[in-house]
Structure 1
Amino acid sequence: MPAKAYAGFLGTFDAVVSSRLHTGVLALTASTPVVPIEGLQFKITAAMTAAGVPLAAVRPGDPGWVDNVLRSLDSILADPAAARAWAGAAVRRQRESIDEFVDGVIHRLRLG
């Protein structure tokens, strides 16, 4: 399935619970809130923190991890509009950061 189609599919959900980085990112691009599940490498934590996702990544195996996932999910479902707003804002912040970086590179290379 192409990435845009998958993002569109993820956009039909109220929330996505995932340990897959690309699924989490594509869900955010569809303004779908994500409950991140961390694997062994902490890349989910780093990516979601950098994006400004307000929910901490949950580590399976930590005491009470299932309850932590459910609490995060409950917080999203309690105010879906607010959750979609932070999900969309996370993507906007990342896009703005990329634009600033590219503008800086272009300026330094005197291309623009």
Structure 2
Amino acid sequence: MTSCCADGSPDWRPLNAGQRCARLIVGIVLLLLALALPWSGAGWVALAVITGWFGATHVLAAAMAYPGCPELGVAPSLLLGRWVRIGCTPWRWLDAKLRLTLE
């Protein structure tokens, strides 16, 4: 995949193996949670769909090594065939706390 902006920014590089594993684990957990939620009542269905979306996009982000915000950028990136740059402050913070970033 090619990035949408070829500025070579160090903040925008493919995920490393540890980061991909973290996204995959979170994605699988969210998908399992979505399946475990009760599917009765509009509120529960909406919560299950949203949780499933978050889970599916995190699994896709792990598969594509997408470094941005999975829930907003990975699906458009897949459809367009190029990375749509959308930063993800929570994952940057978590990657730093878990020491998953490359120095």
Judge same fold: TM > 0.5, yes or no: no
Higher relative contact order (CA 8 A, sep 6+): 2
TM-score normalised by structure 1 residue count? 0.25
Q: Which has the larger radius of gyration?
A: 1
